[in-house]
Amino acid sequence: MKIISKFTLASCLAIGLCSGCASPFTKHVEWETIEPEKYPVLTAVGYAPIQSQTGESDSQREIMAMKASKLDAYRELTEQVYGQRINGEQSVANMVMGNTHLQGSVEGVIRGARVIKTYPAGKDTYVTELELDMQRVYDLYLSTAKPKRVRDVTYY
């Protein structure tokens, strides 16, 4: 039969009492959604040349320019929302600057944008204007993500 020291017994009791308070079932947390105070409205304009588009007729080239200008406007909106990634590279040989290479890219998902206006500007350019109301983006976000914060905690 082993003899348990008073110190070991007291340590076990203290650990048992403290761990009893950390049960995950001793509280109830209520959550509420967070809403921003102000919603900005972003705008973007996209351009595309008409005569440079592939197509057999002027109307086909104009339709392709419409689509290209819309994509350019979406690219600009994405740049405003997510930012632009810039990669740079320079080479030096014999203390003489060689090639300099810069590359920019943008990536993201834009939901809720609205075409404000699309029109030809002059004879060879097509323009598309987009608008992104961040209130609408927030509403779309709420419908899928359901962001939360602690509203109330009740301990039992």
> pLDDT tens digits, residue range 53-62?
998 998 999 9
What contacts 69, CB < 8 A, 6 or more positions away? 46, 47, 48, 118, 126, 127, 128
Max Cα–Cα distance, the chain, nearest Å: 102
What pLDDT, on a 0 to 100 scale, did the predictor assign at position 46? 97
- pTM of the full structure: 0.66
The more confident residue out of 20 and 143 is 143
Confidence of residue 11 (pLDDT cuts 50, 70, 90): low
What pLDDT, on a 0 to 100 scale, did the predictor assign at position 98? 86
Domain boundaries, the chain: 28-155
